[in-house]
């Protein structure tokens, strides 16, 4: 038994050191991080609409489901490589390498396989030099020590991930959620509160350096070229206020923010690089492997920008430094961050989320939200005047009317609209209301001309959520 515990400890330590080494090599840009590659493979397999909807329904929105999935994958990786550590070193290394080949590049498989072998042999030397001579192991851990070491070590390794998990969940909860008595996140959203959604875990988002970064322009252009950030900043720029929303934002959800963006109009940019006859699509490529496309004609539309500033500051790493695409009237998924290449092509390519069942065009749905009172704390004072507040948004269309109901949609009253902030920004609405003691179902709906928000409730997948934001509020 002691022998087995000793072996288990050696196996686990091999797995843990391999993970740490892999992480360091990944930070140094030498190979991928195996748990991350495994995770990509798993999410690729699970990223189909029905699975998404299922996970979404039990875990809610945002990054939560993904972080839990990453934690499970990390445990799988750690457990799996520990089991392999119980085999002969060369056998474990070969199996590990072979498994890695199914989800990582051959070089990574080789590096991980060899590292595993070396670590395992080294640890054998350190911990059990006399194991062959049948002499007792120098480490003779008790059951308790074994459990404590394995459990504690795994918890430490995975704990880093967990910390990240809570940090991000808090981040999402804070973003754009109104805390009673606190200033509203209306108007322009501060960068620190700007919603964040990524296909990657935040820790694995690209961290690009201006010195090394280049924008490559290729395909059906007059001449292939690269641009530095400074090159782009020298071109005539445009600044505009625009509201960005994630297509997976649920009714009344927080994944929508409003910013002031500055960058180069794509039309100017494409004229400068020259478009060859036959080019029909613009393909955007990003540093994290994200890809999206736009028919060429739409890329020439006004206010489609290559953006390098948000709210007067250079883009933060999280929000796409150094360059991202901005396309008015479309959900965030059409607009890659961290772009590294623009390719003109005669054939279209399905975007990252399009390949996973989401909308191809991702045109923003007409939508509205009640922010005050907050859905999380739906209480107002009875017999006192209170002001309801919220936002309405329709992408490129203008919001012309917002109506609010306090009786679950039987009757509607027109809300006050604040003057439109910009052609592409959300519209703020408010309505004074003096409720008697009781419970009321609030609901809101927005209009653009004679088009009214769809009342049918539909899940965000695949075209963006529809329906009226509604909840019950108590006046007491």
Ligand X SMILES: Nc1nc2c(c(=O)[nH]1)N[C@H]1C(S)=C(S)[C@@H](COP(=O)(O)O)O[C@H]1N2
Q: Which residues bind ligand X (CB under 6 A)?
A: 194-200, 244, 246, 286, 288, 290, 319-320, 332-333, 335-338
Which of ligand X, Mo ion, none is residue 199 near (CB under 5 to 8 Å by kind)? ligand X
Containing 71, the helix (H) or strand (E) segment is: helix 64-84
Which of Mo ion, ligand X, none is residue 319 near (CB under 5 to 8 Å by kind)? ligand X
* Residues in 240-259 at the binding interface with Mo ion, rule: CB under 5 A: 246
Q: What is the largest CA-CA distance in the chain?
A: 88
Residue 8 main-chain phi, psi, to 5 deg: -65, -40
Which of ligand X, Mo ion, none is residue 194 near (CB under 5 to 8 Å by kind)? ligand X
Q: Minimal distance in Å, beta carbon 199 to Mo ion?
A: 9
Return the closest-CA partner of residue 250 out of 329, 197, 181, 315: 197
Q: Is 364 within 8 Å of 245 (Cβ atoms)?
A: yes
Q: Minimal distance in Å, beta carbon 21 to ligand X?
A: 27
Site size toward Mo ion (CB under 5 A) is 4
Contacts of 96 (CB under 8 A, 6+ apart): 81, 84, 112, 113, 116
Q: Minimal distance in Å, beta carbon 226 to ligand X?
A: 19
Strand ranges (E), 270-410 = 281-286, 291-295, 305-310, 313-314, 324-326, 339-345, 367-372, 379-380, 386-393, 401-405
Q: Minimal distance in Å, beta carbon 390 to Mo ion?
A: 21
Residue 332 vs 467, nearer CB to ligand X: 332
- In the numeric block, which tokens belong to residue 149? 């070491």
Which of ligand X, Mo ion, none is residue 198 near (CB under 5 to 8 Å by kind)? ligand X
**Contact window for Mo ion (CB under 5 A) among 66-74, 189-197, 321-329, 424-432:** 189-197
Residue 124 vs 309, nearer CB to ligand X: 309
Identify the bridge partners of residue 306 per DSSP, sorted by sequence position: 264, 325
Residue 113 vs 320, nearer CB to ligand X: 320
Q: Minimal distance in Å, beta carbon 177 to ligand X?
A: 15
Mark out the alpha helices in 280-435 (DSSP H runs): 296-299
Mark out the alpha helices in 329-450 (DSSP H runs): none
Residue 168 vs 198, nearer CB to ligand X: 198
CA distance 260 to 246: 17
Binding mask 59-98 for Mo ion (x = CB under 5 A): ----------------------------------------
**Residue owning tokens 């396309």:** 327
Q: Minimal distance in Å, beta carbon 462 to ligand X?
A: 13
Binding mask 306-345 for Mo ion (x = CB under 5 A): --------------------------xx------------
* Residues in 45-64 at the binding interface with Mo ion, rule: CB under 5 A: none
Number of CB atoms found within 10 A of residue 194's CB: 21
Residue 319 vs 421, nearer CB to ligand X: 319
The residue sitting closest to ligand X, measured at its beta carbon, is: 332
Give CA separation, 459 vs 22, 46, 369, 404, in Å. Answer: 39, 18, 16, 22
Contact pick of 8, 25, 197, 307 for Mo ion (by CB under 5 A): 197
Q: Minimal distance in Å, beta carbon 393 to ligand X?
A: 14
Residue 178 vs 246, nearer CB to ligand X: 246
Q: Minimal distance in Å, beta carbon 25 to ligand X?
A: 23
**Contact window for Mo ion (CB under 5 A) among 196-204, 263-271, 366-374, 394-402:** 196-204
Q: Is the dihedral of CA 224, 229, 232, 238 positive or negative?
A: positive
Give CA separation, 58 vs 55, 165, 245, 431, in Å. Answer: 5, 17, 22, 35
Residue 306 vs 333, nearer CB to Mo ion: 333
Q: Minimal distance in Å, beta carbon 312 to ligand X?
A: 16
CA distance 171 to 319: 14
Residue 15 vs 460, nearer CB to ligand X: 460
CA distance 185 to 450: 29
Residue 403 vs 459, nearer CB to ligand X: 459
Return the closest-CA partner of residue 36 out of 132, 85, 108, 129: 108
Residue 24 exposed, middle or buried by CB count within 10 Å (0-12, 13-18, 19+): exposed
The residue sitting closest to Mo ion, measured at its beta carbon, is: 246
Which of Mo ion, ligand X, none is residue 89 near (CB under 5 to 8 Å by kind)? none
Note the residues at the interface with Mo ion (CB under 5 A). 197, 246, 332-333
């Amino acid at each position: 038994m002691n022998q087995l515990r000793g072996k288990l400890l050696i196996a686990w330590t091999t797995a843990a050191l391999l993970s740490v080494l892999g992480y360091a090599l990944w930070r140094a840009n030498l190979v991928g991080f195996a748990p991350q590659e495994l995770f990509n493979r798993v999410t690729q397999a699970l990223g189909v609409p029905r699975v998404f909807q299922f996970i979404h329904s039990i875990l809610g929105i945002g990054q939560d489901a993904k972080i839990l999935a990453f934690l499970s994958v990390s445990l799988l990786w750690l457990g799996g490589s520990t089991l392999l550590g119980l085999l002969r070193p060369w056998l474990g290394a070969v199996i590990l390498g072979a498994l890695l080949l199914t989800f990582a590049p051959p070089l990574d498989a080789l590096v991980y396989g060899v590292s595993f072998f070396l670590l395992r042999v080294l640890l054998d030397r350190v911990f059990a030099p006399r194991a062959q001579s049948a002499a007792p192991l120098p480490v003779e851990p008790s059951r308790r020590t074994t459990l404590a070491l394995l459990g504690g070590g795994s918890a430490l390794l995975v704990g880093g991930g967990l910390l990240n998990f809570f940090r991000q969940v808090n981040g999402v909860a804070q973003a754009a959620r109104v805390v009673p008595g606190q200033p509203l996140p209306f108007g322009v959203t501060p960068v620190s509160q700007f919603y964040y959604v990524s296909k990657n875990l935040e820790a694995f988002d690209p961290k690009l350096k201006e010195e090394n970064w280049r924008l490559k322009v290729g395909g059906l252009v007059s001449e292939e070229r690269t641009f530095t950030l400074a090159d782009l900043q020298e071109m005539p720029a445009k600044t505009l206020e625009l509201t960005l929303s994630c297509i997976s934002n649920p009714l009344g959800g927080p994944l929508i923010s409003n910013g002031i963006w500055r960058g180069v109009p794509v039309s100017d940019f494409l004229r400068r690089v020259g478009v060859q006859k036959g080019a029909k699509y613009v393909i955007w490529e990003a540093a994290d492997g994200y890809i999206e496309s736009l028919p060429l004609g739409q890329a020439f539309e006004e206010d489609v920008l290559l953006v390098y500033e948000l709210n007067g500051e250079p883009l933060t790493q999280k929000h796409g430094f150094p360059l991202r695409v901005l396309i008015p009237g479309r959900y965030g998924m059409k607009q890659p961050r961290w772009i590294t290449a623009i390719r003109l092509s005669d054939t279209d390519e399905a975007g990252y989320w399009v390949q996973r069942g989401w909308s191809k065009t991702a045109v923003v749905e007409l939508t509205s939200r009640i922010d005050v009172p907050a859905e999380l704390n739906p209480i107002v004072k009875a017999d006192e005047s209170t002001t309801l507040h919220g936002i309405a948004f329709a992408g490129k269309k203008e919001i012309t009317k917002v109506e609010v109901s306090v009786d679950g949609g039987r009757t509607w009253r027109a809300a006050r609209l604040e003057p439109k902030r910009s052609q592409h920004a959300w519209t703020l609405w408010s309505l004074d209301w003096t409720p008697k003691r009781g419970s009321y179902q609030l609901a809101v709906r927005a209009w653009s001309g004679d088009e009214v928000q769809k009342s049918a409730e539909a899940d965000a997948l695949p075209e963006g959520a529809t329906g009226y934001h509604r909840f019950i509020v108590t006046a007491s």
